[in-house]
Amino acid sequence: MPQQVKLFAGNASHELGEKIAAAYGTQLGDLSLQRFADTELGPSFNESVRGCAVFLIQSTFPPAENLMELMLMVDAAKRASAASVTIVMPYYGYARQDRKDKPRVSIGAKVVADFIQSVGTDRLMTCDLHAGQIQGFFDIPVDHLDGSAMFVPYIKSLNLGNLIFASPDVGGVVRTRAFAKRFGAEIVVCDKTRLRANEIASMQVIGDVTNQDVVLVDDIVDTAGTICKAAELLLERGARSVRAVITHPVLSGPAHDRIRNSVLEELVVSDTIPLRQENPKIRVISLADLFAHAIRNVVTHESISSLFT
């Protein structure tokens, strides 16, 4: 008898969880979240998970209680005798803290990895990590999905004549080159220096974008300062149009206003993080099908890489 598969979603990703479950051909399981007077969290499963392959869907964007809620969900499932527990974390929070870039700082991505493993998680599924090397923080299997698999068809549908891709910083060159390779296109780089986090000191373009339709590629858009400044600079350097494709729409602080007032044709994002407000310049492409296929391939012991190669 095949093992029963059950999908549950935390509060932060309930809408995406419903889409993933529908794409998988099922419904989300029944999960309750008790909140005490002091805001302490207490999740509980309202149906049996004994002997089941359990998939828990939750992105860990701020506030940090989304991460805590997820960890309690894992613990509850393990204590209820689930056969296996896989975390489906579309957006891996704290991923930008992946190394010591100055003295006496934490490596937040490693702390989160240790937290995930300490509660007994059997497997992690995530998408477009800020640094792929974060997988090395884990001693459990990590399925690192490539969000571009869902973005590529949309970019192709635009039929842009002189397509070129741009990385908004040197650190994103590998990601941008992989994206451009799907189109046989060239890339340019926007080299930036920072005064401090979320504040750019200067930026310059490495490469020629004259009369080109530029697509900026990145994993995270936070305050949108970098992406909007890069778009302005690319137009100044002769680009015909500029749009951006970014997986995780953190969009904090002045981000929405900056995007509305920017020279960007559009900002294409996924639904790993739900938008907090409407924005006419933002187009959302769902990754539900990608995650549903990945979950199915895990259950049937098939290849994950086949989904995006």
- 43-64 pLDDT, tens digit each: 999 999 999 999 999 999 987 9
Q: Predicted confidence band at 191 (pLDDT cuts at 50, 70, 90)?
A: confident
Question: Average per-residue pLDDT in the chain?
Answer: 94
Share of the chain above pLDDT 70, in %: 96
Q: Are strands 142-145 and 53-57 parallel, antiparallel or unpaired?
A: unpaired
pLDDT at 194: 59
Average pLDDT score over residue span 205-214: 94
Q: Predicted confidence band at 196 (pLDDT cuts at 50, 70, 90)?
A: low
pLDDT at 239: 97
Contact 164, 186 (CB under 8 A): yes
Cα–Cα dist 228/216, whole Å: 10
Cα–Cα dist 70/92, whole Å: 12
pLDDT digits (tens, 9 = 90+) for 226-276: 899 999 999 999 999 999 999 999 999 999 999 999 999 999 999 999 999
153's CB contacts (< 8 A; 6+ apart) are: none
124's CB contacts (< 8 A; 6+ apart) are: 86, 87, 89, 116, 138, 140, 141, 142, 143
* Structural domains of the chain sorted by starting position, each given as residue range(s) with its CATH number in brackets: 5-146+288-307 (3.40.50.2020), 148-285 (3.40.50.2020)
Q: Flag the least confident range among 18-27, 76-85, 220-229, 258-267.
A: 220-229
63 upstream amide cis, omega within 30 of 0: yes
pLDDT at 200: 56
Q: Predicted confidence band at 281 (pLDDT cuts at 50, 70, 90)?
A: very high
pLDDT digits (tens, 9 = 90+) for 128-167: 999 999 999 999 999 999 999 899 999 999 999 899 999 9
Please give the positions annotated as active site. Answer: 192
pLDDT at 149: 87
- The amino acid at 31: L
pLDDT at 41: 93
pLDDT at 244: 98
pLDDT at 62: 84
**Could you tell me the pTM of the whole model?**
0.94
pLDDT at 90: 98
